[in-house]
Amino acid sequence: MATVIELPIETYAGPVDPDWCPGCGDFGVLKAVKMAAGKLGIKPKDLVLVSGIGCSSNLPGFIHAYGVHSLHGRAVAVAQGIKLANHELHVVVTGGDGDGYGIGIGHFIHAMRRNIDITYVVMNNQIYGLTTGQASPTTMKDVRTKSTPRGNAEPPINPIALALVSGATYVARGFSGEPEHLAQLIAGGIAHRGFALIDVFSPCVTYNKVNTYPWFKQRVYKLEEEPGYDPSDVMAALQKSFEWGDRIPIGLFYKDEHPIYEDSEPALRKGPLVRHPLRPERAVFEELIEELM
C-alpha cells in the first residue's frame, strides 16, 4: 500500500472567498472537503469538483482544484462523463437537496445503480435557499415556507433510504456543525471504490428557521457510537435510515465492496481515455471498414 502524505488545508485555499450568508452550514462543508482531500494527500491537480445550481453549488469556486459549475440538476451526469474520460481523477460532486433530490434525482439514482466511482456531497438544508425560501424535496411535512404558507403537504424524500435501495456502496450522513467528523466521512467516501453519498445537514440560517444548528445538536448521534451497529448490514442501515425525531443518526450507514462501472468497461483497461490515441489501430480501422462497406 502506498504511503499517504497528508497535505495542509491551505493547499486547497481558493482565490475567491465564499459569499454565503454568515453562519451558513456550507462553510463547514467546504472546510470538511478540504480537510478530507488533505487527509488523503490528494493534490489539487488530481481533484475535480462538479456542481449544479444553488447556494451550495458555488462551492467549486471556493477551493483550489479543478471545478465545473454545470447546469441545474445535471452535476452527477457531468461528473460521470469526467470520471469516464479520466478515471484516475478524484471526482467529487457538491450540491444541494433541491439540485440533487429534485431536478437531478434521475441522474442520482442511475449513477448509484451503475456504482460509478464518484463521491456526492449533498448540502441538505431542507429548503431552497438561492431562490429565497421555497419548500424543497426534503422539507418536512407541515413546515411553512414561502411556497407552502399553510404548511408543506408533501412528505420529504429520504435520501439515505433511496441511496441504499438504489445501489450506492457507501452511504453516510454528516452535520456541518461537526466538520472533523464530516471530514472523516467525506475522506472515506473519496477513498471508497464505488458510488459514495454523503448527505449533510447544512443549516440555512436565513430561510429555514426550523432545522437550525440547535435543532440538530439536540437530536443527532453518531452511528459509530451505537453499540453493535454494523455498517456492512444493509437491512440494519435501511432501518436506521427511517429513524427521525428525537434521535437522528449521523455517520456511516453502509459500506460494501462491489465491482464498479469502470471495471466493466473494456475501453478503460488501457488507461484513461484522455491518454488514448485519437487514431484507431490499423487492424481495428480495417475491421470497421470491412463491416461497413
pLDDT tens digits, 54-88:
999 999 999 999 999 999 999 999 999 999 999 99
Asked if the structure places residue 229 within a domain, the reply is yes
Tally the domains of the chain: 1
Whether the pLDDT of residue 182 is over 80: the answer is: yes
Asked if the structure places residue 5 within a domain, the reply is no
Strand, helix or coil for residue 58: helix
Q: How many CB atoms lie within 10 A of CB 186?
A: 29
pLDDT tens digits, 211-263:
999 999 999 999 999 999 999 999 999 999 999 999 999 999 999 999 999 99
pLDDT tens digits, 18-62:
999 999 999 999 999 999 999 999 999 999 999 999 999 999 999
Residue 112's pLDDT is what?
Answer: 97
Residue 150's pLDDT is what?
Answer: 96
pTM (two decimals) = 0.94
Residue 265's pLDDT is what?
Answer: 86
Residue 257's pLDDT is what?
Answer: 94
Separation of alpha carbons 57 and 195, rounded Å: 19
Q: What's the number of CA atoms in the CB half-sphere (13 Å) around residue 133?
A: 14
Residue 271's pLDDT is what?
Answer: 85
Whether the pLDDT of residue 105 is over 60: the answer is: yes
Asked if the structure places residue 49 within a domain, the reply is yes
Its domain, for residue 182, covers 18-292
C-alpha cell at 107: 441522474
H-helix segments, 61-178: 75-85, 97-98, 105-114, 159-166
25, 111, 149, 181 from 144: Cα distances, Å: 21, 33, 5, 31
Q: Which residue has the higher pLDDT, 267 or 27?
A: 27
Asked if the structure places residue 13 within a domain, the reply is no
pLDDT tens digits, 113-124:
999 999 999 999
pLDDT tens digits, 186-215:
999 999 999 999 999 999 999 999 999 999
Separation of alpha carbons 123 and 136, rounded Å: 12
Asked if the structure places residue 216 within a domain, the reply is yes
Asked if the structure places residue 12 within a domain, the reply is no
30, 128, 258 from 169: Cα distances, Å: 23, 28, 7
Whether the pLDDT of residue 137 is over 70: the answer is: yes
- The CATH number for 188's domain is 3.40.50.970
Whether the pLDDT of residue 2 is over 80: the answer is: no
57, 141, 167, 182, 222 from 240: Cα distances, Å: 28, 20, 17, 18, 11
What's the full length of the chain, in residues?
Answer: 293
Asked if the structure places residue 27 within a domain, the reply is yes
Residues 203, 127: contact at Cβ < 8 Å? Answer: no
Asked if the structure places residue 276 within a domain, the reply is yes
Whether the pLDDT of residue 1 is over 60: the answer is: no
Residue 267's pLDDT is what?
Answer: 83
What is the pLDDT averaged over residues 142-151? 96
